[in-house]
């Protein structure tokens, strides 16, 4: 993992510890963050989930699962974002090789007509229409994402623009089943993955997902990237990450 990516994950873990530590000193927070990193991201040599260090076991699992899954998502976004010209066939092949959990990769023009698609006959056919509505330009060129509901389950679509001579020519889009991302987790049954608008995964406990889907996310996400939320029945710990304007939320029930 690169130094930059490690720093990002440490910031998220530090935020999680700050949430749980109340009035702890900065030194205490750093000690707990270092312990979380050494124990759950870069274990040497074993993973001990029995340690508490002031953080519940469930929240330790959330920090670990977030780091494992989000590392792959971060690598994908970092690979897609700089590609601002129409790619060569080698680029498509490289993306498929590096991210085998993708359902497909495609390029469309400004009207949504398909210019290239890998594989040529993907398991799920997607539409980029919601993303084409954005006003793309050299200045407005960040990645955007949305959730497409299909007959085979939800599909996460992430796209960025490509240009020629400074003019917007279309979008490069990747899409994947969120369950493929969940497969990277060591404790998938305890995890809930969602956006404020759509439930992506809740394991065997469907009630957790439904409760979280009804959380006041507009308020919760206004100034925060992590926290706790108390439903009528239990407490959830959550961490979010942006994909353009979309917010992807990882959560576990802690009580």
- Kindly report, residue by residue over 48-102, the tens digit of the pLDDT: 444 445 567 777 777 777 888 888 999 999 999 999 999 999 999 999 999 999 9
CATH number reported for the structural domain that contains residue 116 in this entry: 3.30.450.20
- Percent with pLDDT over 70 in the chain: 78
Band of residue 254 on the pLDDT scale cut at 50, 70, 90: confident
* Domain membership flag for residue 165: yes
Band of residue 34 on the pLDDT scale cut at 50, 70, 90: very low
Buried b (16+ CB within 10 A) or exposed e, 26-54: eeebeebbebbbebbbeeeeeeeeeeeeb
Listed in sequence order, the residues at least 6 apart from 144 whose beta carbon sits closer than 8 Å to its beta carbon are 131, 134, 158, 159, 160, 243, 244, 245, 246
8 Å CB contact between 46 and 155: no
Q: Which structure tokens are listed for 214?
A: 């009804």
Q: Which structure tokens are listed for 110?
A: 């400004």
Band of residue 233 on the pLDDT scale cut at 50, 70, 90: confident
What does the mean pLDDT of the chain come to? 80
- Percent with pLDDT over 90 in the chain: 48
Name the pairing type of β-strands 235-243 and 192-194.
unpaired
* Domain membership flag for residue 97: yes
pLDDT value, residue 158: 96
Does the global pTM surpass 0.85?
no
pLDDT value, residue 188: 81
CA-closest candidate to residue 246, choices 133, 146, 143, 174: 146
pLDDT digits (tens, 9 = 90+) for 118-151: 998 888 888 899 999 888 988 888 999 999 999 8
* Domain membership flag for residue 225: no
pLDDT value, residue 55: 63
Band of residue 169 on the pLDDT scale cut at 50, 70, 90: very high
Average pLDDT, integer, range 4-32: 45
| pLDDT greater than 80 at residue 210 | yes
The span from the CA of 81 to the CA of 138, in Å, is: 13
pLDDT value, residue 66: 80
* Domain membership flag for residue 195: no
Backbone angles phi, psi at 4, to 5 degrees: -60, -45
* Domain membership flag for residue 204: no
CA-closest candidate to residue 62, choices 157, 170, 187: 187
Give the chain's domain count.
Answer: 1
* Domain membership flag for residue 188: no
Radius of gyration of the chain (CA): 19
| pLDDT greater than 50 at residue 33 | no
pLDDT value, residue 81: 94
Band of residue 32 on the pLDDT scale cut at 50, 70, 90: very low
Residue range(s) defining the domain that contains residue 137: 82-178
pLDDT value, residue 54: 58
* Domain membership flag for residue 214: no
* Domain membership flag for residue 102: yes
8 Å CB contact between 146 and 246: yes
**Burial group, residue 180, by CB count within 10 angstroms (0-12, 13-18, 19+):** middle
| Other Cβ atoms within 10 Å of 22 Cβ, number | 7
Average pLDDT, integer, range 199-219: 90
The span from the CA of 35 to the CA of 41, in Å, is: 10
pLDDT value, residue 45: 34
């Amino acid at each position: 993992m690169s130094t930059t990516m490690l720093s990002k994950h440490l910031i998220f873990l530090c935020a999680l510890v700050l949430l749980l530590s109340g009035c702890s000193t900065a030194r205490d927070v750093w000690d707990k963050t270092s312990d979380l990193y050494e124990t759950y991201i870069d274990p040497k040599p074993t993973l001990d989930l029995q340690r508490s260090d002031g953080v519940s076991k469930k929240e330790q699992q959330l920090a670990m699962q977030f780091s494992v899954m989000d590392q792959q998502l971060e690598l994908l976004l970092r690979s897609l974002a700089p590609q601002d010209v129409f790619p060569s066939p080698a680029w498509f092949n490289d993306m498929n090789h590096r991210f085998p959990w993708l359902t497909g990769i495609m390029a469309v023009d400004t009207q949504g007509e398909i210019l290239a698609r890998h594989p040529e006959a993907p398991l799920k056919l997607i539409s980029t229409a919601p993303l084409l509505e954005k006003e793309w330009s050299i200045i407005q060129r960040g990645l955007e994402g949305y959730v497409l509901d299909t007959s085979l389950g939800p599909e996460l679509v992430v796209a960025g623009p490509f240009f020629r001579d400074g003019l917007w020519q279309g979008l490069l889009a990747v899409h994947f089943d969120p369950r493929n991302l969940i497969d990277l987790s060591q404790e998938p049954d305890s995890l809930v993955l969602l956006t404020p608008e759509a439930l992506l995964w809740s394991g065997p406990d469907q009630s957790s997902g439904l409760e979280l889907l009804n959380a006041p996310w507009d308020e919760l996400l206004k100034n925060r990237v992590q926290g706790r939320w108390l439903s009528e029945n239990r407490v959830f710990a959550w961490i979010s990450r942006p994909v353009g304007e979309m917010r992807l939320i990882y959560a576990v029930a802690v009580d």
